[in-house]
Structure 1
Amino acid sequence: MADELELLRHANPVPVDGPHFGDGPLDHHAERHLDRLLRERPTISAPSPPRRRTRLAWGLAATAVVAALALALLFTGQTTAPAVAAPRPLLVQADSTPVPLRTLAERAGAAAADGAPKLRKGTHVQTWSMGMSDDKPPITLPEERIVRWHADDSHTEIVVATDPRHPGRPVLGGDGELVADGHVLSRQTYPPSWSDAPPQSPPPTDLGRLRAYLQEAEYSRTALNTGELLHAVATLLDTWTLGARESAALAQLLADTEGLRPAGQVTDRLGRRGQAYVYDGTGSRQMLIMDPATGDVLGLETTFTEAEPEYGVKAGDVMSYSAWMR
């Protein structure tokens, strides 16, 4: 198992074998592991466009995946199945009581009274992203990404192929090949950036300014609909780890958004319990998972509500899922 994955897991406030409700600030032990991981910085490379969503380029890569699976099982005698299956949609607990978004926003405001934790640039996120083609079945790529900014305004991004639901099993890498759990897909340090355009600039806590900020982050000249707003929230959380006040402002903005209905309690793919809020769009459903006490956004899942036979997609398949951590 790669050393980088071990360091990431030691730094993770929600390890696979740890207790639930561990989604809090990193302790000194975790920070020490992160510092060790990020101090080994490679030569600064030229900046590249920000990663939005993992998308698979098919072609020979898909054939290589099938061949790699067959060879691995045939010649190595491997008995542990690779973790290549797409995740099933999260299920709302049947007997749970939905919490209205306004109630959750009030809780978030109360939790933010002391202003802690603080806003921090950078992110730690686990994603599952589906890749599709015209002539091959869709596959899902599980990745963990951590981005940390440094004092000189440069930042380091590490992307690892791993599926926390199946620790230790081989997974599909970024090019569709079968790799070991913890395989480092990329590790780059980017030079300083002083952009003041969203989402690089700090998000405001004023609701009107926050709404305009998210609209600008989506490069839209018109007000965002609910689906676009949720995408903008994902863009924000892929750049920033929100502080208590920013989370409270975002919760209030979401409470004022039409079409987000409370669904009840869910346990996400990192074992955290949250409240689910669902938006039904055209051909897809988005489920936002939020911490019921602090209003933090824990995750966002998008599922197909209509089949797309030409791509091998069935209604209910998970298109993408992101789980953000502190």
Structure 2
Amino acid sequence: MVLVPVAYGSAAREAGSQLRALASRLADAEYDNRTGRYMYHHTKTWGDPVMTSADGRHQVAFADETKVWQAADGTGEQVTSQLEPQYPDQDSRDYWQRNLKPKAAAPAASGPARVPLPPLDLAPLPSERTRLTELLKVRFGAGAVSKEVSTVYGRYVVPRRTRAEILRVLADVPGFRWRGQVTDRAGRKGVAITFDDRDHNAQSLLIFDPYTGELLAHERLTLSPVRISAYQVILGAAWTDRLN
């Protein structure tokens, strides 16, 4: 499969007002007002890691699908399945199909790997603006914030009030641009913001559910010359009492 970045229109504007408007009208997510022992997350990730050929011309992005059940004390279970690698272009695909070891080129058919999670001091997710600003590393700029927002949504089941506050924090971070409606890699409609980090030749893109404000996807890609992505979609988040 050849990896293609998320498409959006060329028109862009400062994202603050749109993010504040979204924060003001959020609806409940499916998990809101529910409880459970475990926080459950179902994600797919591409580009972790990315391998580049010795001549720098060909890249391959490895991919996996993960389901995690994690209690407040960190214990639980993680199930990971390897997916088909992806490529930035057909030339890279042809090169790596010839040169990758068979197990890397085609994921093993032995099934998913199940790993018990050990105890961990998992701090509660803050809901107050000052602590969220610290957690999201706002002082390091929009590129760092994008990564931390993705980490937060991949680790916690984020309640509506906190989702709204995260959007308001993002609205105050300089550099985010509003991209309007997009379609994520799972085929879901969302609204997107981007940040172009020219110093590191990279772009961060965050896609939010237009009704609940949940993070649907995070993409980080090089601006030039090869737009290989590191990309994660959050396919499910919930509270549950069972490991299944």
Query: Shorter-chain TM-score: what band?
Result: 0.7 to 0.9
Match of 1:157 in 2: 78
- The residue type paired with residue 215 of structure 2 is V
What letter matches 1:297 in structure 2?
L
Provide structure 2 residue ranges, at least 5 long, that are not aligned to the other structure. 87-96, 237-244
Residue by residue over 1:219-265, the C-alpha shift from the partner in whole angstroms, topping out at 9 and shown as x without a partner, is xxx82211011111122223213222221221111112111110111
Q: Which residue of 2 aligns with 1:213?
A: 135
Q: Secondary structure at the match of 1:162?
A: strand
Contact 2:135–2:148 (CA under 8 A) maintained in structure 1:
no
Contact 1:105 1:255 survives alignment (8 Å): no
- Structure scoring higher RCO (CA < 8 A, sep ≥ 6) equals 2
Residue of 128, 145, 153 corresponding to 2:46: 128
Look up the equivalent residue of 1:281 and give its one-letter code.
D
The equivalent of 1:189 in structure 2 is 116
Residue 296 in structure 1 maps to residue 217 in structure 2: no
Which stretch has the larger CA shift, 134-143 or 117-126? Answer: 117-126
- In the alignment, what sits opposite 1:72? none
**Contact 1:122–1:238 at 8 Å: present in 2 too?**
no
Gaps of 5+ in 1: 1-84, 166-170, 216-221, 308-313
Q: Tell me whether 1:278 sits opposite 2:194 in the alignment.
A: yes
Q: Could you say which residue in structure 1 is the equivalent of 2:124?
A: 202
Pairs aligned (count): 212
**In 2 relative to 1, CA 250–117 (structure 1 residues): closer, same or farther, beyond 3 Å?**
farther
Distance in 2 separating the partners of 1:95 and 1:207: 31
Superposition pairs for residues 203-242 of structure 1, below 5 Å? 203-215=125-137, 223-242=139-158
Counterparts of 1:262 and 1:269, CA distance in 2 = 19
1:138 to 59, 66, 73: 59
Select the structure that is richer in strand.
2
Structure 2: distance between partners of 1:96 and 1:181: 44
- C-alpha separation in 2, matches of 1:300 and 1:306: 19
Please tell me whether Structure 1 or Structure 2 has the larger radius of gyration of its CA atoms: 1
Aligned-residue CA RMSD (Å) = 3.3
**Percent identity over paired residues:** 26
C-alpha separation in 2, matches of 1:254 and 1:242: 15
Q: Which residue of 2 aligns with 1:323?
A: 233
